[in-house]
């Protein structure tokens, strides 16, 4: 099948041929004919199979009729990250050269002024992250009541990043008669329920089982210890054992991205870092350097795991086992794209085996080990020793910092407060007896019945406690006072 059989306009077909595309991928062959007719689409396919063109090409065909007005765009594409949004904008620039469409890219980390100018001129296509789109909408710079097509890309990633409330707010102000296209590599039940609320009698297109990896990717596991130094050494060993053209190393935390990046640089590797706390200019410059080959190794968080189209990534290394099994599919999907062969390796520590089991259950197969599969008793011993070492470190630190006191404290206890000898206490108590007898009983006391003991003080301290000022009267109180 060729693109001429998908119902695209002649202008779009010529742009596809000029871009060098000859045969549509399975998701493109099934999704484009339905999307061109205006029906809703729910597309599920492996990452790297061309989902972006599955909605860009039919949108270009439908946008040939009509014209956008100021601050009233005709189509809206929601992306979870800035990099994905910029990548879709590049796709429109490549495939829509002859359409003269105005594309507005609304992402964070960029000045509002340039974005406002494009919206004021009238944008046919708005590609945005949900947060920045709502910022423009609340400032009155954008109206959404003329949207004809809504695209939600990487829908499951939207759920993970907490964008679902924002998407619900956006959908409430969109026209009810719009066309909605959902695309994702995985479809958990939560996203399925969300799609049921947003889509109207959609055409479900599933060209592969959800959450499956491409068959062109060679996957391997390598066991290592929990110690950070050993883990970084194992990573360097993996890099040296493979003939890499370029590689992406994924970490679970932004903090670890910086640690691994600096470690690789100290050991002579040419590497770059990419995570969500970097400003947009740094992120764009790092990605451009990686695409051009200036930086062969990119250490990244999951911000680079979804949808980034860097066609010739030869290797993917997982420094950490991902917390969510679906993220493993997206990470290794950065390699082996468009039918090329790719390689993916993952470091596994004893505490990672629960997450690894979840990945195996999702893939319905077990990933081979580089150095032989560890035995079950080895894993149990490793986990037990890791826990015992952790307890020992906690106990040692506590005893050194004085957490528990030694049981025998007779010699190390602080000296007691000086107290007068017993005969003096007795004599003073007898001398004060007449004063105590003359003193009226406390309020609420019962005649000669002694008042309740003060439990907050010892009996000895209570007897020695002076009443009022005791026997001492300050000199200023003895001065004569002139009557007024």
In angstroms, the CA 161 to CA 180 distance is 21
Q: Is residue 420 part of a domain?
A: no
Q: Is the pLDDT of residue 397 over 60?
A: no
Q: Which residues contact 4 (CB under 8 A, 6 or more apart)?
A: 13
* Cα angle value 225/226/227 (rounded, 5°): 95
Which pLDDT score is estimated for 366? Answer: 92
Q: Among the listed ranges 239-248, 275-284, 452-461, which one has the minimum average pLDDT value?
A: 452-461
Tell me, yes or no, if the pTM score tops 0.85. Answer: no
Residue 459 lies in a domain: no
Domain span at residue 45?
Answer: 3-206
Task: Identify which of 327, 257, 252, 238 has the alpha carbon closest to the alpha carbon of residue 299.
Answer: 257
In a domain, 221, yes or no: yes
CATH number, domain containing residue 65: 3.40.50.300
162 and 270 part of one domain:
no
108/154 same-domain check: yes
Same domain, 178 and 298: no
pLDDT in tens, 285-321: 998 899 899 999 999 988 766 656 676 899 999 999 9
- When pLDDT is averaged across residues 254-271 and rounded to a whole number, the result is 95
Domain match, 372 and 238 both: yes
Instruction: Among 365, 384, 403, give the residue marking a domain's end.
Output: 384
- The pLDDT > 70 percentage for the chain reads 76
Cβ contacts of 36 within 8 Å, gap of 6 or more? 6, 7, 8, 58, 61, 62
- CA R_g for the chain: 37
Q: Are residues 223 and 199 in the same domain?
A: no
Is position 186 within any domain? Answer: yes
Q: What is the Cα–Cα distance from 62 to 66, expressed in whole angstroms?
A: 9
Indicate if 145 and 239 belong to the same structural domain.
Answer: no
Single residue among 384, 403, 432 that ends a domain in this structure: 384
Residue 151 belongs to some domain of the structure: yes
Please give the Cα distance from 26 to 30 (Å, whole number). Answer: 6
Q: Give per-residue pLDDT as tens, 426-473.
A: 444 455 544 454 555 554 444 444 444 444 444 555 555 556 556 666
Query: Among residues 336, 352, 384, which one ends one of the domains?
Result: 384
In this structure, what are the phi and psi dihedrals at residue 346, rounded to the nearest 5 degrees?
Answer: -135, 135
Name 367's Cβ contacts closer than 8 Å, sequence gap at least 6: 219, 220, 221, 346, 359, 360
Can you read off the two tokens belonging to residue 476? 């200023």
Indicate if the pLDDT at residue 402 is higher than 70: no
Same domain, yes or no: 233 and 378: yes
Q: What is the pLDDT of residue 160?
A: 73
| Residue 189 and residue 223 in one domain | no
Q: Considering the domain boundaries, does residue 115 fall inside one?
A: yes
Nearest CA-CA partner of 158 in 85, 72, 57: 85
Q: Is the pLDDT of residue 332 over 80?
A: yes
Position 304 in a domain: yes
Out of 62-76, 111-125, 393-407, give the one with best mean pLDDT: 111-125
Count: domains in the chain: 2
Domain assignment present for 249 = yes
Same domain, 221 and 197: no
- Residue 138: per-residue pLDDT: 93
The average pLDDT across 114-139 equals 93
Average pLDDT rounded to a whole number, residues 388-406: 45
């Amino acid at each position: 099948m060729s693109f001429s059989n998908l119902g695209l306009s002649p202008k779009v077909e010529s742009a596809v041929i000029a871009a060098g595309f000859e045969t549509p991928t399975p998701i493109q062959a099934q999704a484009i004919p339905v999307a061109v007719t205006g029906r809703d689409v729910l597309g599920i396919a492996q990452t790297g199979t061309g989902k972006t063109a599955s909605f860009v090409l039919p949108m270009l065909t439908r946008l040939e009729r009509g014209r956008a007005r100021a601050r009233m765009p005709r189509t809206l594409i929601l992306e979870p990250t800035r990099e994905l949004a910029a990548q879709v904008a590049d796709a429109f620039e490549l495939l829509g050269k002859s359409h003269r469409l105005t594309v507005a890219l609304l992402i964070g980390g960029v000045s509002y002024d340039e974005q406002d100018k494009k919206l004021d001129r009238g944008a046919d296509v708005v590609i945005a992250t949900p947060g920045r789109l709502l910022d423009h909408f609340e400032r009155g710079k954008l109206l959404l009541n003329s949207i004809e097509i809504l695209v939600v890309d990487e829908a499951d990633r939207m759920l993970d990043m907490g964008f679902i409330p924002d998407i619900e707010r956006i959908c409430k102000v969109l026209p009810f008669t719009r066309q909605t296209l959902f695309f994702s590599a995985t479809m958990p039940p939560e996203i399925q329920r969300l799609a049921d609320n947003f889509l109207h009698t959609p055409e479900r297109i599933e060209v592969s089982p959800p959450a499956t990896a491409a068959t062109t990717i060679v996957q391997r596991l390598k066991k290592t210890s929990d110690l950070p130094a050993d883990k970084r050494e194992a990573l360097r060993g993996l890099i040296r054992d493979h003939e890499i053209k370029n590689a992406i190393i994924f970490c679970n935390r932004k903090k670890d991205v910086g640690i691994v990046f600096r470690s690789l640089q100290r050991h002579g590797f040419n590497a770059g870092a990419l995570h969500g706390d970097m400003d947009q200019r740094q992120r764009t410059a790092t990605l451009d350097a990686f695409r051009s080959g200036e930086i062969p190794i990119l250490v990244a968080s999951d911000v680079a795991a979804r949808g980034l189209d860097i066609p010739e990534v030869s290797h993917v290394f997982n420094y950490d086992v991902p917390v969510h099994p679906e993220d493993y599919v997206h990470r290794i999907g950065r390699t082996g794209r468009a039918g090329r062969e790719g390689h993916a390796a993952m470091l596994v520590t004893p505490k990672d085996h629960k997450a690894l089991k979840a990945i195996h259950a999702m893939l319905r197969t077990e990933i081979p080990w580089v150095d032989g599969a560890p035995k079950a008793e080895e894993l149990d011993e490793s986990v037990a020793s890791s826990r015992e070492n952790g307890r020992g470190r906690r106990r040692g630190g506590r005893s050194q910092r004085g957490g528990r006191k030694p049981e025998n404290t007779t010699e190390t206890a602080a000296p007691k407060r000086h107290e007068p000898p017993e005969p003096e206490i007795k004599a003073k108590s007898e001398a004060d007896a007449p004063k105590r007898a003359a003193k009226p009983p406390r309020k609420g006391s019962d005649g000669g019945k002694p008042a309740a003991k003060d439990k907050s003080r010892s009996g000895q301290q209570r007897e020695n406690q002076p009443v009022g000022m005791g026997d001492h009267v300050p000199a200023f109180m003895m001065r004569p006072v002139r009557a007024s």
